[in-house]
Chain A
Amino acid sequence: MAAVAAATGSARPDAPEGPPASPPRGRFHFIDAAPRLGLTRVLEAGRPAKDHLLDSAGAGAAFLDYDQDGRLDIYLGNGWRLDGETVAVRGQHALYRQRTDGTFEDVTDAAGVGGNGDWGSGVAVADYDNDGRADILVTSFGRNALFRNLGDGRFEDVAGKLGIEAPGWNTGASFFDADGDGWLDLYIARYVDCTLDDVLKAKRTLWWRGLERVAFGPFGLKGAPDRFFRNVKGRFVEATDEAGLKDLALGFGFAARAADFDDDGLPDLYVANDSDPNYLYRNVGAGRFKEIGVTSSAAFDANGAAQASMGVAAGDVDGDSVLDLFVTNFSEDFSSLYKGMGQAFFEDVSRPTGVGPATFRPLSWGTAMADLDNDGDLDLVVANGHIYPQIDAHPELIGTYRQRNLLLENRSLRDDVPPGAPPETLFRDVTAAAGPGFEIVRSHRGVAVGDYDNDGRLDILVTALDSPPELLHNEGAAGAWLIVVCAIPGGPAIPIGAKVTVTAGGRTMTRDVASGDSYLSSHDPRAHFGLGKAERADEVVVRWPDGTRSVRKDVAARQVLVVRKDVAGAVPTTAPATRR
């Protein structure tokens, strides 16, 4: 990402033409640009009737800049299409390179990242070998693939060589440096212990409200244990038990998010489990963890109930400089917003913030905390879609299989509220006013957020079952912005674990650089900040993974700012000759 231009202005001059001129946009306005830009790969998802849970699990997506040209590229995981008990299509994953005109070119075959023929699930992007190039992990139902970026537009699958194929139903993955040795370790959540035969021969045996037969599970199925691999100078070694990350409860794992939740400088790990208590693993040093989900109050909802958790997002939604958590859940249940109380304590504030009621009806998956209107606070985007197509026969009950996504506006900064207006909840559902991009009804799954056209407004990449992806281009009337690229000369392409703090307009905002988030997806690794009306940031501070800091003062807004770490802080690499 270091090759991103130092200052790009408010809009790229060579950006493709948008739709015809229209009346002034509201605060949020999204249009699906995927078909126009060439993102057409259909993401296969089992059988139409979704006879097995795998048929409805979907696959994720990622923003990355694999060729370091400063333009975000897109990667999509892909599943299989089944015809009864027969495999009809083994879907190919897709890598789309962004051209200079903003359109995308399918370079999957040339890059060699179409996959090993297994059923794709999650996508995580990280520079696991510290050679300065972004690599791609695709988790699978089957063998995982780790595509090592060779630097010439091609990739090599090294998962087998490195020992992380881990056959089974692998789902969300997170790269993070658990032990502080400068090498990214890898946690992979896993869902159900089942075979391909189980999937192919599955029958819908679960009665849904006594009305329809639907796919069975996950209750009554055996969970697959999550796995942790320690990165030893570019090689992975299984270290699940040794690290204290043994999945004792065999939770149905869907998503994993590493972040420093207790702000002690060490990355912790949150794991979202479907229908089981979620895990919060506190890093106690030396790459070892202690599970504190229950005592931290992040395992259950406010009623002490385990929820059917699908996706996760982490960020500071209330501006108190403490990381909060957002977990998406099944339909007819709140998605949960956990307010960070400091030192890895949380409180479920879903109801008082308005998030719970707004998310009660849909079945929610991918998500992101992102400042979509550049006003300085983090909004919530939520991908929705049910798992039972059979509910369409009874739409009056809980809606339909294909659902709209949700956009919840953070109202921390209520600059459009007249004085004396009645109090309102922190979040407000603005989906209906968010443009045609939020009118699309599909069975959505993954969400990745990134500013693909470098115009300072975050765009949203969404996957859906049996459909091409959506790229929701942000055309809202947004405020000022700043994107910060953290670069370590001679080091990894993405300094995962770095924390960026921007002070502007009297507010302090923080973002962390992560890999693996949302549901099966990875966001643009650059730190994006909405600055509202502030045209300058007073200060930009980057806390690097090794604890050192870089500070920039009085920074102009509306630019992509590259903050380079002092060379003395470079991390080890296996391939010094290929470093940038």
Chain B
Amino acid sequence: MNLSNACRGSRLAGAALIAALAATPGTARAQARPTATPPEMVAAYEALADTILGANKTEVKLVHSILAATYAHARAELGRARDALKAGDAASAKAATENVAAAVGQIGTEGDNAVAGIRKRLLEGGHHANAEGEAQGIYDDGYVVVTKVAKQAFLDSSKAIAMLARDPKADALDAEWKKVEAAWAKHITAAR
């Protein structure tokens, strides 16, 4: 989010106003004292608001994209696991199943540790995508799309799939994946 232009405009308008007031004689200044916020400042603030709200929407879309990419990755790894199981390649099946588990876990945590680092940076700056939802206990701090309920569902599936990786079986994997699909449809697709 680049707010520098908007902020610069706001600062310039403020400076111009202060300069104009300073140049007005005392009596005249009292008579002409503005009772409303100067239009230039209002316009600048409007522009800034557009930028902030636009950035918030962009953030939601970006997080949805991250989740979608992660989900796609999980599906791809699921396919690899199935193929490996059919081929009797236990090692590859195990590795792919672990990757499925990791990806599903990352959906639950709304991204991996690298994303968590960014989320933390935003929190440092006082940005809460769902401040009201956090206050109501619906979202973890800084989470944008994934609710606590959704998080728990994906974490449970992640763990279950990770445990399956010890000795992957196609039927069990499919059954667990159905839970992931259901959670995805309920919590992520529906949130768009």
Interface residues of A (CB under 8 A from B): 219-223, 247-250, 276-277, 291-292, 294-297, 300, 303-306, 341, 343, 345
Contact = CB atoms under 8 A, between A and B. Distances in A.
B102 A295 contact: yes
Contacts of A219: 123, 141
Nearest to A252: B120
Contact of A295 (B105, B114, B140): B105
B15 to A, nearest CB: 30
B163 interface: yes
Given A220-B123, A249-B120, A306-B140, A291 B113 contact: yes
A221 B124 contact: yes
B117 interface: yes
A276 to B, nearest CB: 7
Contact of A220 (B126, B148, B158): B126
B107 to A, nearest CB: 10
A300 B140 CA distance: 12
B101 A248 contact: no
A276 B116 contact: yes
Interface string B88-110: 00000000001001100110110
Interface of B: 98, 101-102, 105-106, 108-109, 112-114, 116-117, 120-121, 123-124, 126, 140-141, 148, 151-152, 155, 158-159, 161-163, 166
B148 A343 contact: no
Contacts of A345: 159, 162-163
A295 B116 contact: no
Contact of B106 (A276, A294, A300, A306): A294
21 contacts: A220-B123, A220-B124, A221-B124, A223-B120, A247-B113, A248-B114, A248-B116, A250-B120, A276-B116, A276-B120, A277-B109, A294-B102, A294-B105, A294-B158, A295-B101, A296-B162, A304-B151, A304-B152, A306-B140, A341-B163, A345-B159
Contacts of B126: 220
A304 B140 CA distance: 10
Contacts of B121: 222
Contacts of B108: 294, 304
A247 to B, nearest CB: 8
Nearest to A294: B105
A191 B141 CA distance: 19
A71 B3 CA distance: 64
Contacts of A305: 140, 148
B interface, over-half SS? helix
A356 B112 CA distance: 28
B159 A297 contact: yes
Contact of B155 (A223, A292, A300, A343): A300
> Which of A249, A296, A306, A345 counts the most B-chain CB atoms under 10 A from its CB?
A249
B120 A295 contact: no
Nearest to A347: B159
Nearest to A246: B113
Contacts of B159: 295-297, 345
Contacts of A303: 148, 152
Nearest to B142: A219
B123 A295 contact: no
A530 B109 CA distance: 41
Which 7 A-B pairs have CB atoms at the shortest separation, nearest pair first?
A248-B113, A249-B116, A294-B105, A249-B113, A295-B162, A304-B152, A248-B114
Contacts of B98: 295
A248 B112 contact: yes
B162 to A, nearest CB: 4
A449 to B, nearest CB: 32
A277 B158 contact: no
A304 B155 contact: yes
B114 A304 contact: no
> Which of B117, B121, B158, B163 counts the most A-chain CB atoms under 10 A from its CB?
B117
A184 B155 CA distance: 34
Given A220-B126, A295-B102, 14 more contacts: A219-B123, A220-B124, A248-B113, A249-B114, A249-B116, A250-B117, A276-B116, A292-B162, A294-B105, A295-B105, A295-B158, A295-B159, A300-B155, A345-B163
A305 B141 CA distance: 10
A292 B148 CA distance: 20
A303 B124 CA distance: 25
Contacts of B113: 247-249, 291
A300 B114 CA distance: 17
Contacts of A247: 113
A297 B151 CA distance: 13
A306 B166 CA distance: 26
B143 to A, nearest CB: 11
Contacts of A341: 163
